[in-house]
Structure 1
């Protein structure tokens, strides 16, 4: 089997990138259909639209409904066809960007994503996470290529709620551990082959960057300013995590995240917050050394990621709730089966409850 690595065609990052990317976008299309929710449009819409207009690019903006579901994708595709746009731009968070990627795929048109937060590694990937209209995970939609351009405006991201940046660190936290599990299992990644040394190295760099810069970056975001640490964490949350997971693979942490989506009590959590706890559960599942568990627990606690079920919002009917999560995590086709050993719902159930006790123990230190 071939070793495969893939990435977006172009990645731009820096202050005011959303105002400057038009110079590169004009090489892709002369008209774009821009989607964003109401809040993001007020925050960054004018900057993006003016950046396009300055390069003689026509654009039309439309409201994103909030959920990356097949119904929302089809609704926006119909509107885009009516406009006759030649490319699509998603501005906002992960679900907006995933919707833009789906639109570009179905319409065979170039895709540009402009995240206003660094809360997931979704921007760089050649896939979308599809949910139901009610917010429950349905499937991964995998594409033949990555976005044509990813634009990270760090001045905008620095002003976003701190919790979103921290959630991005939670998502990125799983990258190294899942990549290593897939590498050891010789699993087929979402890039369609086995991991390259480069992809595995980027995944490790992602983890090392989180530990070195995460707390400093959180403080910079709290102040609403761009610092070197914040720039590095934005790159780790987005590019390093994105290439690392896609070209190495997902394993237990993301499958357990998907399992937690069946609990209504967890719907208030961001993707990366659930993934962070899923990472702790994966470490228990694979019997990682206590030193490694304590490093991850300490990092999560310092930056503000959940380490217990109570912090996740799971406080009642624990046994039945966690067994439901465990069964959903082990569903046929789930990424938990990329672990280098067979995994059962009973094992996941035990790992989650043990991770919870480890978190409780850590918080009482």
Structure 2
């Protein structure tokens, strides 16, 4: 991320950015019109067939109740540049003044890009809590064949973010835990940006508010994560679920943009070049990336143990095998490591220079340490209990 245009002697500004309105609630889909009508009255909803099959009738009923004109774009499931172009054409033809991405992060990313192209209002309606994409001001777009295309920075967050917790608790628990992993990474990555004085994705210095949200995400997930996970496994709604959904979606999204990110996401981006890793979700790969970042930082064993002990009850991966990379060859390790330190990667927001050899060492080191820890977990001298989660 380049710095803003400032005199050579000036420091980049501190910047905090967030959506103007965030609304989260059980059965919020039924009140869709209540919030959307503040933005406009001609709506295009970008949504895949699976999500529409579960909730489409309720969206139609809500739009009728609010006298909103509704257009639906059938989303393919891939946030591709082709989907953005097709959805833009559809929404323009419908003369929509509000674009809504409904479902997961990819539908939300397409909606943001469509809204930016049309210069109208855009909103997100999340039905899962595995990602902070509903809140963020950027879109991650791919080629139609699935290859990475670009990050689009929109310069603003969605005009409205909605999360229906009824939909979340009906979804797979794995989505919730992957979202926790991505949220917790904000704490570790933003801390490195603050130490380094690096720029955030906003092209500014990290704000204290952004850093505080990263710390809050860690605190919430370590204290309430298991409770939320076990409730969602029973399709139950509890205060812990409410807190973790907000953490995954809002605290994480605003925290990483206004606080910064660094090694863990760069490692994720390198790993996802390997098709074998596609069995793992974004947050799951980021979780292993955090452990590798801790190795890069030279953290003591007690810090590594604490992170592993946080991860295990939530079923989050701490080894290469758990993210589909068992027996990773030297050539593939090199491919991942070089990609993680590419010129535009967030690895360069660490407070020290990192090269490909260091990343390869951290990946191997993290995997070896986690395997050793797991093999002796019951008898490991000084292995921490979950007492730290009570403080």
**For the superposition of Structure 1 and Structure 2, which TM-score range results when normalised by the shorter chain?**
over 0.9
Whose Rg is larger?
2
Distance 1:89 1:78 in 2: 15
Specify the alignment match of 1:158 in structure 2: 169
Specify the alignment match of 1:334 in structure 2: 345
TM-score, reference length from structure 1: 0.97
> What CA deviation, in whole Å up to 9, does each residue of 1:301-347 have, x standing for no partner?
11011111111111244222121111111111111110011110110
Distance 2:301 2:308 in 1: 10
Specify the alignment match of 2:114 in structure 1: 103
3-state SS of paired residue (1:267):
helix
Checking the alignment, whether the CA contact within 8 Å between 2:263 and 2:289 is kept in structure 1 is: yes
Specify the alignment match of 2:245 in structure 1: 234
3-state SS of paired residue (1:61):
strand
Distance 2:142 2:365 in 1: 29
- Which is worse superposed, 341-350 or 60-69? 60-69
Residues 1:123 and 2:138 aligned together: no
Q: Which runs of 5+ in 2 are unaligned?
A: 1-11, 378-391
Specify the alignment match of 2:236 in structure 1: 225
- Aligned positions of 1:1-365 closer than 5 A: 1-364=12-375, 365=377
Distance 1:342 1:109 in 2: 42
Q: Cα offset for 1:166?
A: 1.0
CA RMSD of aligned residues (A): 1.2
User: After the TM superposition, which segments of 4 or more aligned residues of structure 1 sit over 4 Å from their partners?
Assistant: none
> What CA deviation, in whole Å up to 9, does each residue of 1:160-205 have, x standing for no partner?
1111111111111210011111111111112331112111111100
Checking the alignment, whether the CA contact within 8 Å between 1:137 and 1:261 is kept in structure 2 is: no
TM-score, reference length from structure 2: 0.91
Distance 1:214 1:301 in 2: 12
Q: Which runs of 5+ in 1 are unaligned?
A: none
Distance 1:110 1:203 in 2: 28
Checking the alignment, whether the CA contact within 8 Å between 1:255 and 1:329 is kept in structure 2 is: yes
How many residues align? The count is 365
- Which is worse superposed, 219-228 or 42-51? 42-51
